[in-house]
Amino acid sequence: MLLLFIFYAIMAGVYTFGKQVVLYASPFFLTGVRITFGGLCFLAYQFFAHRKQFSIKKDCYWLLAFYAVGVLLMDSFRLLSLQYIPSAHGAIIATTAPFIAAVLSWWWFRENFNFKKAAALVIGVVGVLPLLLSHASLPEEGYFNVVMAYLMMLTSTFGFVVCGLLSKTLIQKRGMPFFMTVGIAMTFGGLLGFLFSFIFEPWNPLPVTDAWPAFKLILLFIAAHSLIAYPLYNYLVQKYPLTFVAFAQLTVPFFTALFSKVFFGEAIGSLFFVSLIVLSGAFTLFYHEEFSTRLERRSG
């Protein structure tokens, strides 16, 4: 459970500091630099530590290709969106993940989603509503840009869930090694980022407007996001049902609000604490039901 909260705390930092890094560097380039580096690190570990398993099964080629595309969508579209909307808004859109996961998991894994889990999800969303409403105003970036930014953030959230689904399938169902799977998806997802950067972003000589601030934030993202959060997410979706991992995405707006307060001095109102209490109850109900389901499966 602690790892789950650590992961989403890091992800909240991605929204908070992602808003800053796109001021200094282009989104596709950022994906290319950060994600490719992380993927190569994991492939290197697989090669030197478990060389006998450094291979790709033939029936996994297409799944890995889709996984790499999912990585591109998840990462680049998030950064593209943050060019036009506040980080808090991006975190709010991320709360659609449980709904996407519920549908995809039922369709792909036939995961059980009973009444208590559905009730916990509804309570969680109701609990987040006060916080959502407190960020309801739109930025003055142009109506079309704002609408497209929200659609891109929704696409990023969809990619986030799909990546978890494909990771679970490749590792648990197809028997692919953990770091081999993560490394290939990240490396080729990052290379796709470079490709799109060459096509759509100005290189003169790099798509970076201010090198030193961009360099510091890129290092932060590599350490926290690429090398910790990515493999941690893949580990969590192996350990827990995808719906449960996605449900915890509802905590992202709270972490984002806290980080905005700590690092940028943004105020935290009383609605934050109301939502926090309600969401904590919903999360407890969902976790308790998931734990009970696991015990029933083992005893059966």
Q: How far apart are CA 300 and CA 296, in angstroms?
A: 6
Q: Residues 44-84: pLDDT tens digits? A: 999 999 999 999 988 999 999 999 999 999 999 999 999 98
What pLDDT, on the 0 to 100 scale, is given for residue 199? 96
Q: Exposure of 95 by Cβ count < 10 A (0-12 exposed, 13-18 middle, 19+ buried)?
A: buried
Q: State the pLDDT at residue 134.
A: 58
Q: In this predicted structure, what is the pLDDT of residue 85?
A: 79
183: tokens are 């490394």
The 10s digit of each residue's pLDDT in 241-262 is 887 888 788 788 778 777 877 7
Q: Give the orientation angle of helix 143-168 with respect to helix 61-82, to 10 degrees.
A: 150
The pLDDT of residue 141 is 55
Contacts 24+ apart (CB under 8 A), 204-213: 206/25, 206/29, 207/25, 207/26, 207/28, 207/29, 208/24, 208/25, 208/26, 208/29, 209/23, 209/24, 209/25, 210/23, 210/24, 211/24, 213/20, 213/23, 213/24
Q: Which residue has the tokens 């808004």?
A: 89
Domain boundaries, the chain: 2-111+139-250
- Entry pTM: 0.83
Residue ranges in the chain modelled with pLDDT below 50: none
- Three state DSSP letters for 199-263: HHCCCCCCCECCHHHHHHHHHHHHHHHHHHHHHHHHHHHHHCCHHHHHHHHHHHHHHHHHHHHHH
* Residue in the structure block whose two tokens are 């049902």: 241
Encoded amino acid at 64, one letter? L
d(CA 101, CA 45): 30
pLDDT at residue 296 in the model: 64
Burial 11-25 (b: 16+ CB within 10 A, else e): bbbbbbbbbbbbebb
**In 3D, which of 89, 85, 47 has the Cα closest to residue 183?**
47
Query: Which has the closest alpha carbon to 39: 68, 82, 60, 14?
Result: 68
